[in-house]
């Protein structure tokens, strides 16, 4: 429940602090006084989009802070714990939103938090119904969602949606495979040519670099032969070779080490150098011996490099050509195996259709049962709200199909094929007749604004008793009603407050008198500045406020007496 709301520098609100009661709270005030600003501020702190235009003129930022009691809201506590935003107390949640000219920041339990998390928390806290909310009743495309929501069918709808997505996925695989088969068959001859070329050339990884290196050696074989022979002669082959000079130096060092130990290490190093020189000379000699010039081998390498160049031009690189070789082999093999794969996909689609049909049948049956229950419940509530002859009907229909291609999302049931949608097999529409003897007609063809408000209130009454949302906010849902009916609407809102905290904005005294907490909003102008104040009222102040709602600008003793009577009656449960 909402316990406390702070609003600072928000539009024409300079500073407002409000405490709310646990049951039925009502907010009243003249038209344009700023009542809806409080709701707008609350929606902002719950993560709704807000413009920097709401910052009060001359202020640096706007601040909204809300304190909630979250005892018993296990889903919300779990989300806070999972997100590591659970405060020192698991019974309290503090949300804050700071709005500046450059953007806004959100805080959860005094820690900066992403706005999407705040919005998730808000969705677990508050159900908001604006003064135009009843228009959703007139939109047939929302009727199915309302039925599922009121009927508590979300889990079964989720199970159905999973099956529907599986069917769509199998259809997509089937469609893609068919298209791929057609494409591959149209490209078969070309792919076969490419495969034969790749098989004939059979490129190997690193082959080009190896061949280019070999070709360089062949083309420079004379230079390599002469150079390696000269190097060998200098190291070993000539009379005054490096090897001979080093041997003489080693022998001298060995003689001198007998005289001076200083030459021990020198003699040892010279011995190593002689050995290493011998090895180098032999390596060069072997290299020189294997050198040969072969014009035939040179031509072979050039022809092979031309083949590889052709593949590089076609595929971009030899590595890519090797990959394409494997890919084309797989694709051509796939063409041969398409019939088997397509048969398996057809079987998968038919199996998924049957599964979807089974779940869809269960969902439809539950919708039918819930529809009858809701029809009776709404009729009873509407009778209490001044519509005793109203009959509310929920039509649930399907679209049967004799046959359809496998690429259509259909459900197979014992009664045949039916069109399938993401939410089920059913089309749902609300019908009503408000007077005896009239036919049932779609809501948008017969319902008035006041009747729509009462039907929506009836739906919300049924939903609220099974809903987890702890806070219900009604922004002027009393539009289009007055007198005895307004009194009964007030009672209905009061009854809702037995299950949830209710916050209602109203211009109606009969509704306002039913509330346990009454907050009045006023707009005042001092000098050149306008500001909005809001505070709870009781006793004489509340009587004056209710009398003002009854009489308008000029409060009379009669309107005060009526206000006292309304407050007196609000504490009793009287049918009127």
Given a cut of 50, whether residue 574 has pLDDT beyond it is: no
Could you state, in order of their start, the residue ranges of all structural domains in the chain? 1-125+470-536, 538-570
| β-strand partners of 113 | 106
Tens digit of pLDDT for each residue in 38-87? 989 999 999 988 999 999 998 999 999 999 999 888 889 889 999 999 87
Read off the pLDDT band of 421 (50, 70, 90). very high
- Between helix 143-151 and helix 154-186 the angle, nearest 10°, is 130
What's this model's pTM, rounded to 2 decimal places?
0.60
Of 93-107, 196-210, 292-306, 562-576, the range with the highest mean pLDDT is 93-107
Decide which of 3.40.50.150, 1.20.140.10, 3.30.70.1230, 3.40.50.300 is the CATH code for 1-125+470-536. 3.40.50.300
Tens digit of pLDDT for each residue in 422-435? 999 999 999 988 88
pLDDT for 446 equals 63
Read off the tokens for 441: 């007609």
Angle at 59 between CA 56 and CA 62, to 5 degrees: 65
Read off the pLDDT band of 25 (50, 70, 90). very high
Read off the tokens for 149: 């929501």
Given a cut of 70, whether residue 2 has pLDDT beyond it is: yes
Mean pLDDT computed over 507-514: 91
Q: Given the structure tokens 């490096």, which residue do they identify?
A: 242
Q: How many CB atoms lie within 10 A of CB 28?
A: 26
Given a cut of 70, whether residue 447 has pLDDT beyond it is: no
Average pLDDT for the chain: 86
Three state DSSP letters for 474-486:
EECCCCCCCHHHH
Mean pLDDT computed over 510-514: 92
């Amino acid at each position: 429940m909402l316990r406390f709301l702070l609003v600072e520098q928000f539009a024409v609100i300079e500073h407002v602090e409000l405490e709310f009661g646990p049951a039925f709270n009502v907010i009243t005030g003249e038209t344009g006084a700023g009542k809806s600003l409080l709701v707008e501020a609350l929606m902002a702190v719950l993560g709704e989009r807000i413009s920097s235009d709401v910052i009060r003129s001359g202020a640096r930022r706007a601040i909204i802070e809300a304190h909630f009691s979250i005892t018993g809201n296990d889903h919300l506590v779990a989300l806070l714990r999972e997100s590591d935003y659970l405060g020192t107390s698991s019974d309290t949640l503090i949300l804050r939103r700071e709005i500046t000219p450059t953007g806004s920041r959100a805080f959860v339990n005094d820690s900066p938090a992403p706005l999407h998390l705040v919005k998730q928390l808000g969705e677990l806290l508050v159900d908001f119904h604006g003064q135009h909310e009843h228009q959703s009743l007139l939109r047939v495309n929302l009727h199915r969602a309302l039925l599922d929501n009121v009927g508590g069918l979300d889990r079964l709808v989720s199970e159905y949606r999973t099956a529907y997505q599986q069917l769509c996925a199998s259809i997509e695989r089937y469609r893609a495979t068919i298209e791929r088969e057609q494409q591959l068959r149209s490209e078969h001859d070309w792919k076969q040519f490419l495969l034969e070329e790749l098989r004939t050339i059979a490129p190997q990884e690193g082959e080009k670099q190896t061949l280019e290196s070999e070709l360089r050696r062949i083309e420079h074989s004379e230079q390599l032969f002469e150079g390696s022979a000269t190097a060998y002669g200098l190291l070993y082959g000539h009379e005054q070779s490096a090897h001979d000079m080093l041997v003489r130096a080693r022998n001298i060092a060995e003689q001198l080490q007998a005289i001076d130990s200083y030459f021990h290490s020198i003699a040892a190093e010279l011995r190593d150098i002689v050995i290493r020189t011998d090895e180098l000379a032999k390596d060069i000699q072997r290299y020189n011996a294997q050198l040969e010039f072969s014009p035939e081998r040179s031509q072979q390498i050039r022809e092979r490099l031309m083949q590889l160049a052709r593949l590089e031009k076609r595929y971009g690189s030899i590595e890519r050509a090797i990959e394409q070789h494997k890919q084309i082999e797989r694709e051509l093999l796939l063409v041969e195996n398409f019939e088997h794969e397509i048969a398996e996909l057809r079987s998968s689609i038919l199996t998924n259709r049957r599964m979807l049909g089974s779940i869809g049948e269960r969902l439809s049956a539950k919708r039918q049962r819930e529809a009858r229950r809701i029809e009776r419940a709404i009729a009873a509530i509407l009778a209490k709200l001044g519509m005793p002859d109203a009959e509310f009907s929920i039509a649930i229909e399907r679209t049967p199909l004799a046959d359809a291609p496998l690429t259509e999302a259909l459900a197979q049931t014992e009664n045949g094929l039916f069109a399938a949608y993401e939410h089920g097999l059913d089309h749902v529409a609300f019908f009503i007749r408000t007077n005896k003897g009239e036919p049932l007609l779609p809501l948008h063809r017969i319902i008035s604004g006041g009747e729509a408000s009462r039907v929506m209130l009836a739906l919300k009454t049924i939903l609220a008793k099974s809903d987890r949302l702890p806070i219900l906010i009604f922004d002027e849902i009393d539009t289009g009603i007055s007198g005895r009916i307004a009194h009964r609407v007030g009672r209905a809102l009061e009854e809702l407050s037995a299950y949830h905290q209710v916050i209602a904005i109203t211009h109606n005294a009969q509704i306002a008198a039913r509330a346990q907490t009454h907050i009045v909003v006023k707009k005042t102008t001092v000098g050149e500045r306008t500001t909005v104040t809001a505070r709870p009222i009781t006793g004489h102040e509340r009587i004056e406020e209710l009398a003002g709602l009854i009489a308008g600008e000029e409060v009379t003793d009669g309107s005060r007496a009526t206000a006292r009577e309304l407050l007196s009656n609000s504490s009793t449960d009287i049918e009127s």
